Amino acid sequence: MERIGFIGLGRMGRPMASNLVRKGFDLIVHDINPEGVKALSELGAAVAGSVAELTRASDIVVTMLPSGVEVEQVVSGSDSILSASRPGQLVLDMSTIEPVVTERLARSLQAGGLSLVDAPVGRLAIHADRGESLFMVGASDADLERVRPLLEAMGTTILHCGPVGAGIKTKLVNNYIAVVLCQVNAEALALAQRFGLDLERTLDVLHGTTATNGQLKMNWPNKVLAGDVSPGFTIELAHKDLSLVLAAAQTGKVPMPVGAATREIFNMARSGPYAQADFSGIVDFLCDAAHIDKPRLKSPS
């Protein structure tokens, strides 16, 4: 069995790494946050004191980091994968970063005799907890088969989107729709609150027509409409992903006026106490701005 290194034990990375340990993988972990490292150590993972130490002990290195800045630092900085690598190793990056960064890192790794698989994650943190994530994979056929056992241990759906870079590009398309739908839902439900409509009956109508959507039907009843805005995917991260989308769209000369407007609303929300709220909490931000009651289900499910 190949030895697996895992870097990045945040809200998504920690349950994914935990599932690998529980399913018998030989895992070594590293993170600047000692809490995540302690949790994985208690499950039986080995701990590395640096990226280089982890790399020397691994055949496949998994990264799950907040942005392209951290991924580039981990791959090619002073204490990095490339500083301690050997030919034949593979990097599996599951972060949501700029496609140009993914492509640049793929070239750097290839020059050192390593390969890159980009496999950003679909679905929510609760799915990561249960090992039910979806992966959008950019990779060669051979590299995908090499990491497939890991992805199967962490999720239920693996979609090969194309060569390296195709995974993150698909993720940006997916997240664009998810975040913009949150904004649309927020505006619609804020208006329903102003009208004084019954929330449950309004949702019955919306779910019975083409107005329904996955955020409103699956995520919101378990999060903001149940009064839970603890972060699964934060408003801060949603703003970051929209910024990635708009930068890529600008490079590709694709107009995205709706996305630009949505990003500005999320930018306003992230400047205050909602920054670390779940992105479904954007409706609470709008209701606060309009001085109306927040929408809540009478019997959350």
Catalytic residues: 171
Is the pLDDT at 172 greater than 90? The verdict is yes
Give this prediction's pTM: 0.91
In Å, what is the CA distance from 236 to each residue of 23, 108, 196, 233, 299?
Answer: 32, 30, 30, 8, 29
Looking at the structure, tell me whether residues 8 and 155 fall in a common domain. Answer: yes
Q: What is the pLDDT of residue 299?
A: 79
Q: What is the pLDDT of residue 125?
A: 83
Q: What is the pLDDT of residue 123?
A: 85
Q: What is the pLDDT of residues 32-75, one digit of tens each?
A: 999 999 999 999 999 999 999 999 999 999 999 999 999 999 99
Q: What is the pLDDT of residues 103-153, one digit of tens each?
A: 999 999 999 999 999 999 998 888 999 999 999 999 999 999 999 999 999
Looking at the structure, tell me whether residues 23 and 128 fall in a common domain. Answer: yes
Looking at the structure, tell me whether residues 124 and 238 fall in a common domain. Answer: no
3-state secondary structure of 196: coil
Domain that holds residue 174: 169-290
Q: What is the pLDDT of residue 225?
A: 97
Q: What is the pLDDT of residues 3-24, one digit of tens each?
A: 999 999 999 999 999 999 999 9
Nearest to 218 by CA among 122, 124, 121: 124
Count of alpha carbons within 13 angstroms of residue 211, beta-carbon side = 12
Q: Domain boundary at 111, 134, 163, which?
A: 163
3-state secondary structure of 278: strand
Q: What is the pLDDT of residues 202-258, one digit of tens each?
A: 999 999 999 999 999 989 999 999 999 999 899 999 999 999 999 999 999 999 999
Domains held by the chain: number: 2
Between CA 14 and CA 9 the distance in angstroms is 4
Q: What is the pLDDT of residue 150?
A: 98
Domain assignment present for residue 205? The answer is yes
- The torsion defined by the Cα of 74, 75, 77 and 79, in degrees rounded to 10, comes to 60
Is the separation of the CB atoms in 108 and 159 below 8 Å?
A: no
Looking at the structure, tell me whether residues 10 and 152 fall in a common domain. Answer: yes
Between CA 84 and CA 81 the distance in angstroms is 6
Nearest to 149 by CA among 23, 47, 28, 30: 23
